[in-house]
Structure 1
């Protein structure tokens, strides 16, 4: 039996892939990101009752689903109907992702997609950060792979918290290792496209971080620009970090 109060880098659940902590990273002010505050994950459709119980015991109160309406209709999150959970659907990409042609082209690469999300999904991103700031208990956000939309969100959270870019990149990279069920949850596609889409190359998230820092100066400035208030930023800071 696992200890709900323990701190896990990757949570000990087997029915959902890539469920990981945002806690445990050192911050530039000598503190660290807090455990049991924010989790990132991939597709939740196959969540077992045992693993649901573990998440609730771990402190989960809020789930943010970053997928499109078509994705959630095809593979619903069982926690959406759980009265003990506050569930929000805030898609970062509009349209039917299940019908996309996943051929890799120079005009649409993952690094470009990440930047596009930062600019085109500002309302959803603002809402995500406001919900995390105000939520009581542990928040879990997820998409399908738990790598791209989830990775962008995690990168912004960690950058705002004062985590080093090396640690943010490391947090992003792990997804490819844990994303072993991709074949069952991604639309069938050419092998080249499949291999590209499950990759979590360091250059992808580095490109995104560079864009945020060069365009806005900091994650905090970006969050201010999209409408997160100073009060909410302080609430978010208090939730995410613990001073040394």
Structure 2
């Protein structure tokens, strides 16, 4: 059988190898990001170890409940950590700045970001983060874990923007494998692609907080232990 582009999970990459502000680097085979996996996906070549042992699915409850997660198995545990509610996902986005959507996640889903950090710090790896397109919710979640680890905002933004290379495949996959998302998910939000100013506003919010991103996540309930566990796990 011939493997076509649409049969391969798009926007999948290992977030290892990035420099940190204390002279370390992020480890490979710890944290992956991607768009929505689909049943029957070909084994990807973009990462060394597959499937991930832990999946953090950032979609809303209604999105998550549409069908069984294709990666759920005896060897892979899937956690649902919704960064947007059903109503927020389906709300018309015409005229809504992506930056405002991102700031809304910081305001309304801080406890979910704390939960995400705890899973990332303690669950078996590799860990895969994804939402529907792997762009907005995944972008914020990845940015948080990278910034906590000391990755420079410029490198975080560069990884975020690289998602734009994959958006045609992402949108084609949503149409084929998740048509219900095509009906309810605001496509104009996805057609805008990754918008650097939107994520830059998130990074600025974290860095301007007393104590930086560590202080910000602690003010939402994260512990010193979970922060240190994640840093020790993800950097070398």
- Under TM normalisation by the shorter chain, which class is it? 0.7 to 0.9
Q: 2:197 aligns with which of 191, 198, 203?
A: 203
For residues 224 and 190 of structure 1, what CA distance do their matches in structure 2 show? Answer: 32
Match among 66, 90, 94 for residue 85 of structure 2? 94
CA distance 1:207–1:174, shift in 2 (3 Å): same
Whole-angstrom distance in 1 between the partners of 2:214 and 2:40: 34
What is the count of residue pairs matched by the alignment?
Answer: 224
- Number of the residue aligned with 1:119: 107
Secondary structure of the residue aligned to 2:182 is coil
- In structure 2, distance between residues paired with 1:195 and 1:100: 16
Whole-angstrom distance in 2 between the partners of 1:54 and 1:175:
14
For 1:66 and 1:170, locate their aligned partners in 2 and report how far apart those are by CA, in whole Å: 21
Q: CA RMSD in A?
A: 2.7
Q: What TM-score do you get using the length of structure 1 for normalisation?
A: 0.82
How far apart are the structure 2 equivalents of 1:173 and 1:240? 22
Q: Distance in 2 between matches of 1:29 and 1:43?
A: 33
- 1:114-157 CA deviation, whole Å, 9 max, x = no partner? 11111211121111100000012211111001010000011111
Please report how far the alpha carbon of residue 70 of structure 1 lies from its aligned counterpart in structure 2 after TM superposition. Answer: 1.3
On the 8 A contact 1:70/1:98 being kept in 2, the answer is no
For the 8 Å contact 2:14–2:47, the answer to whether it is kept is no
Gaps spanning 5+ residues in structure 1: where?
Answer: 1-11
For residues 49-68 of structure 1, what are the structure 2 equivalents within 5 Å? 50-51=42-43, 57-58=49-50, 60-68=52-60
2:35 corresponds in structure 1 to: 42
Change in Cα spacing, 1:236 to 1:45, as seen in structure 2 (3 Å) is same
Conserved? CA contact 1:16–1:47, under 8 Å: no
Mark the CA change 1:14 to 1:20 in structure 2 (over 3 Å): closer, same or farther: farther
Question: Is the contact made by 1:151 and 1:172 (CA closer than 8 Å) also made in structure 2?
Answer: yes
The question of 1:85 aligning with 2:115 is answered: no
